[in-house]
Structure 1
């Protein structure tokens, strides 16, 4: 799993924090890591973007690269069109990921919003870039009511495009989960067909970088360089 794409079932569900956690856990496991943000939207020219946030949380050894930046918080294609800036092709994303993979053990490619958000005028998406590389896509989902439908749709979209996925990570696990969240620990893998590979606690991005790095392996299962157990976690939060 030299190149791993990270996509959410929607926006504002903890995708960047999950990417940071995977990066931190991989670094702790002795891997060299790069993070690629193909299209950063809603951030000014001199403001830190998602890739910079991954470096802040996961550590300065992580290489960060951003390919395009658009000022308005919109889908990349829409943001590019409104700003008069060029769009980003799947081939450009794939080429950048391959370049980083030549010198890193793991390259994390963080998408914008959900899997099928448009990147260019032709309607290409993050999934098209992943297909060019034959790379797997990690799915980040929320915990609460409504997540079963969006996670299942994302999983079906991956399978329809011949893309693999190591599994799902809950991007923001609440301190006091409601009944729906607790039930979703069992229901998410059942309905999506993807294993549950982690749960990042709500508010983890506000931890100190040192605290974040120390805790990250405990939020993620072994395929993501951690020691988290879905069985033990579910037992701790019975429905």
Structure 2
């Protein structure tokens, strides 16, 4: 796997911090990593975006942002309101393949969920994954209400012939409730994809040194980590 597409069940689920953990774990294994953000929204010119945050937490990655739109909206809506051209799937494909030629791993971090529109033609991150023939990692919330969105995301991937590489919980609470704990077993059942990690609540607030030291322990071996889903579930019964 040289290219991995990272999406979420929604906004604010921890995609960027998970992307940083993926990068940190790969870097710890001696792999070269690039992070590609097709469309950064809600950040003004000159302000640090998601790519900068990944680099801050994970370490020396190659970062590339294809477009930036100031309002915190879906990429297509934000581009239209800013009077700017949207990002097209073939542009993302070209950039990802260029980065893959010189890096062991390219992480393509989408905006929002899988089917958030990129342009007026209705293109989405799913179209990007299809062009790249790349697996998709889904970042999900931990608690009540997330199973439906996770299942819909997995169903959308399957209907397009795309591979759901697995799910990662973007923010596992310090004091998990009943729904959080039950979802550990239910995520794989409803999505047909493995649970491949869980980042602790507040992981993004750690110092870069502490974040890098801990990242591999939050991710399963399939993501260059040491996290064990069965052990984690047993610890949170």
User: What is aligned with 2:48?
Assistant: 48
Aligned-pair RMSD on alpha carbons?
A: 0.4
Asked whether 1:10 is paired with 2:44, we answer: no
Query: Could you say what secondary structure the match of 2:67 adopts?
Result: strand
Matches within 5 A, 1:6-155: 6-59=6-59, 61-155=60-154
Q: CA deviation at 1:133?
A: 1.0
Counterparts of 2:218 and 2:162, CA distance in 1:
25
Per-residue CA deviations over 1:72-101 (Å, capped at 9, x if unaligned) read 000000000000010010000000000000
Per-residue CA deviations over 1:4-26 (Å, capped at 9, x if unaligned) read 00000000010000000000000
Counterparts of 1:52 and 1:162, CA distance in 2:
32
TM-score (ref. length: structure 2): 0.99
Asked whether 1:214 is paired with 2:213, we answer: yes
TM-score (ref. length: structure 1): 0.99
User: What is aligned with 1:175?
Assistant: 174
Q: CA deviation at 1:175?
A: 0.4
Counterparts of 1:111 and 1:210, CA distance in 2:
26
Counterparts of 1:118 and 1:197, CA distance in 2:
27
The number of residue pairs the alignment matches comes to: 237
Per-residue CA deviations over 1:131-188 (Å, capped at 9, x if unaligned) read 0010000000000001110000000000001100210000000000000000000001
In structure 1, runs of 5+ residues without a counterpart are: none
Counterparts of 2:187 and 2:38, CA distance in 1:
28
Per-residue CA deviations over 1:78-127 (Å, capped at 9, x if unaligned) read 00000001001000000000000000000000000000000001010001
Query: Could you say what secondary structure the match of 1:167 adopts?
Result: strand
Query: Could you say what secondary structure the match of 1:110 adopts?
Result: strand
Query: Could you say what secondary structure the match of 2:80 adopts?
Result: helix
Query: Could you say what secondary structure the match of 1:54 adopts?
Result: helix
User: What is aligned with 2:164?
Assistant: 165
Counterparts of 1:13 and 1:228, CA distance in 2:
20
